[in-house]
Structure 1
Amino acid sequence: MPPESQIPIAASVKRRFAVSLALFYAAIFAVSGTHMPFFPLWLKAIGIDASWIGLINALPAITRFTTLPQITAFAEKRQAIRTAMMLSVLATAIGFTAIGLQQPPLALFLIYALTCMLWTSTMPLTDAYALRGVARYGLDYGPLRLWGSAAFAAGSLACGYLADSIAARDLIWVIVAWAVVAVLASLLLQPLDDVRRRAAGPPTGKALLRDGGFWAVIVSAALIQGSHIAFYTFSAISWQLHGLGGLTIAGLWTLGVIAEIVVFALSPRFSLHPSTLMAIGGVSAVLRWVVTANEPPLALLAIVQLGHGLTFGMNILGTMSLLVQRVPSHQIARGQGYYAACNGLLGAATSIASGAIYARIGDGLYYVMAAMAASGALVIWSARHRLNAHPHSEASGG
């Protein structure tokens, strides 16, 4: 049987898939673009202290290594990845609505935990759906993914404008509104679960867990991406304490996302090996966090934010390329689940610890993040020869 990308497919079918996926990426990243910088501010506005904020913000990471792998594996086994995506965004909209009606820390913690059980599965399911489509239709991942980044920037800017115009305790309803948009966008997703797959291949993901190269990829990615946890959780709070307004904070986030968009747009032209892209991301993160720890002036902070295209964009591109190489297409959702679980395990520990560390040393927390990024770069660089020598291919049968 020929590889999926060689099966003749009408251009209109490819276009519908690409457009609907781009819209869905845009919608779910608009949720993230309002949630990441402003959910901590909303928590602070309703009287939640820093320690509770760290615990609450650890929940998405915790669910990534507890419930998420089971959800992705179940969706893949049932060939229902698209359906699972639709249900996850519906649960997200309902969950954040319930969260907005609560104020006691324990109640918020419990409802947010339930919401995160399905919300955190949205991204790995979407990436699995996207990577199957990339293989099926011969598309490039980066140009599809950039629409999510663009929406993240737009959502962050819009919420930043509103943060200067409405009470901070009302910001939760902006998140809810974008979650509803994501539900509507999910209705446009094209069926892909009946894509023809090879009959051969292992029935479980155990082979992946025995692959040292796969472990090197997901551990390195978790370390480098986990080094962003302090930034995601406390940057808005720290910048607000330094006198920056909501729109300025949103603008700083947007600069980083613009750089990310540029990297994704140019990705089809990259010729470096994916492991090298990941290493570049890790080294760039070290420099970014060291500068951020020293409370740079606004102009330098803006320049540092442009480094997000390297610290995040390069790392994501390298990670996704290596996962496509090493994970059979019929196990891509399972592979995404393991990848997200590794991210979640490290991210949860980092988020919990960062709350306590930030309460003691403030922006000095970024030095710890720099050490994490350096470790991630070292892991992937050490494994580069193994990754070069033993890529997975469709022809290999997994």
Structure 2
Amino acid sequence: MLMRISPFNWLALSFLGYYCAYGVFLPLFPAWLKQQAYDAETIGLLLASAYVFRFIGGIFFSGLIKRASGLIRTLRYLAWAGCLTMLLMGWFSHSFILLFGGLMLFSMVNAAGMPIGDSLATTWQQQIGLDYGKVRLIGSAAFVVGVVLFGQVVGYLGESTIPWIIATLLALNGILQLLQPQPMPLDITGKAHEASIGFVTLLKDPTTTRLLLAIALIQGSHAAYYAYSVLYWQSLGISVSVTGLLWGLSVIAEIALFFSLPGYLKIPPSPDYFISPGLLPLCAGCASLMPMYYGKLRCCNVCTVSPM
């Protein structure tokens, strides 16, 4: 008989396994692709296509779930599917076609884990008052552990181990999800009467349009950062282990920002703003410092080079 645990512990373990693996995949997978002799343009093509399939996978698999009781079962299937596709990519990395197909499948099943996990957390929040904030914080901490700890492991063992590390973490996630939460998520009884709003109607709202534009710009910059930051740092001679530390520090800074500056980031009640005016100069200032930051990294790297 499977061990029974509380919903909080089950979701915490699920987020721990998922985001620890994601913390290895997101920053370090481009380094593995480069180690497999793919150039920057090909890596960009692979990762850009992967984002398209992440979008498709999140919608497709979430749409298959009609009852709350199917959330846990779907998360279990997705964890093992992600493990299998990652193993296939590791085995067939020499073939671009097979690698492309494997990455697209992985992107679909991996992306679906986020909204489905959030849906499960929301269901338990309504059902038993689960503290979603604490559970999500565990996920953020797991991401930091994944990128920092396994960044050191990859730095020691080499980039060729990256897909096997990710597959192992996903398998561990699948094993942890075999535990039985008690109580199980229940379907909400009764019919919800909600007005259906079409996509075209939403686009006619200027606030929605501006919000979509802002999100598109943010996600676009993130995509470029995720794809090329590690490659850029490697071109400066920065090792994968140090790259893991940089990523871990950035996530820790992100967490600290949102927990320590609530007044500065508070959105004003005015309908003319959908983002805090105080946040804009902060973001602009950080962006303007990035070239200086990279320059200092380059200087530090020069200092570590032995004279010929």
77-86 vs 229-238, greater mean Cα deviation = 77-86
**Residue 248 (structure 2) pairs with residue 254 (structure 1):** yes
Displacement of 1:43 in angstroms is 0.4
How has the CA–CA distance of structure 1 residues 254 and 238 changed in structure 2, closer, same or farther, with 3 Å as cutoff?
Answer: same
User: Aligned partners of 2:24, 2:166: CA distance in 1, in Å?
Assistant: 6
5 Å matches for 1:191-202? Answer: 192-202=184-194
Residue 121 of structure 1 aligns to a residue whose secondary structure is helix
Displacement of 1:284 in angstroms is 4.1
Residue 297 of structure 1 aligns to a residue whose secondary structure is helix
5 Å matches for 1:1-398? Answer: 16-76=6-66, 80-102=70-92, 103-188=94-179, 190=181, 192-202=184-194, 206-207=196-197, 209=199, 210-211=201-202, 212=205, 220-263=214-257, 272-273=266-267, 284-294=282-292, 295-298=294-297
149-158 vs 291-300, greater mean Cα deviation = 291-300
**TM-score normalised by L of structure 2:** 0.79
User: Aligned partners of 2:285, 2:129: CA distance in 1, in Å?
Assistant: 36
Equivalent residue letter for 2:221: S
Equivalent residue letter for 1:237: L
Displacement of 1:125 in angstroms is 1.1
Q: Deviations along 1:83-133, whole A, 9 cap, x unmatched?
A: 222211111001101110012222211111122221111111112222333
How has the CA–CA distance of structure 1 residues 29 and 269 changed in structure 2, closer, same or farther, with 3 Å as cutoff?
Answer: farther
User: Aligned partners of 1:43, 1:272: CA distance in 2, in Å?
Assistant: 40
Equivalent residue letter for 2:158: A
Which entry has the higher C-alpha Rg, 1 or 2? Answer: 2
Structure 1 segments unaligned to the other structure (5+ residues)? 1-12, 302-398
1:72/1:121 contact within 8 Å kept = yes
Equivalent residue letter for 1:200: A
How has the CA–CA distance of structure 1 residues 220 and 75 changed in structure 2, closer, same or farther, with 3 Å as cutoff?
Answer: farther
Bigger fraction of residues in helix: 1
Equivalent residue letter for 2:288: V
RMSD: 3.3
Residue 188 of structure 2 aligns to a residue whose secondary structure is coil
Structure 2 segments unaligned to the other structure (5+ residues)? 301-308
Displacement of 1:197 in angstroms is 4.2
Q: Deviations along 1:184-234, whole A, 9 cap, x unmatched?
A: 22223636542434422249xx42634446666555434323321111111
Displacement of 1:31 in angstroms is 1.0
User: Aligned partners of 2:43, 2:130: CA distance in 1, in Å?
Assistant: 40
How has the CA–CA distance of structure 1 residues 263 and 290 changed in structure 2, closer, same or farther, with 3 Å as cutoff?
Answer: closer
**TM-score normalised by L of structure 1:** 0.63
How has the CA–CA distance of structure 1 residues 67 and 28 changed in structure 2, closer, same or farther, with 3 Å as cutoff?
Answer: closer
233-242 vs 217-226, greater mean Cα deviation = 217-226
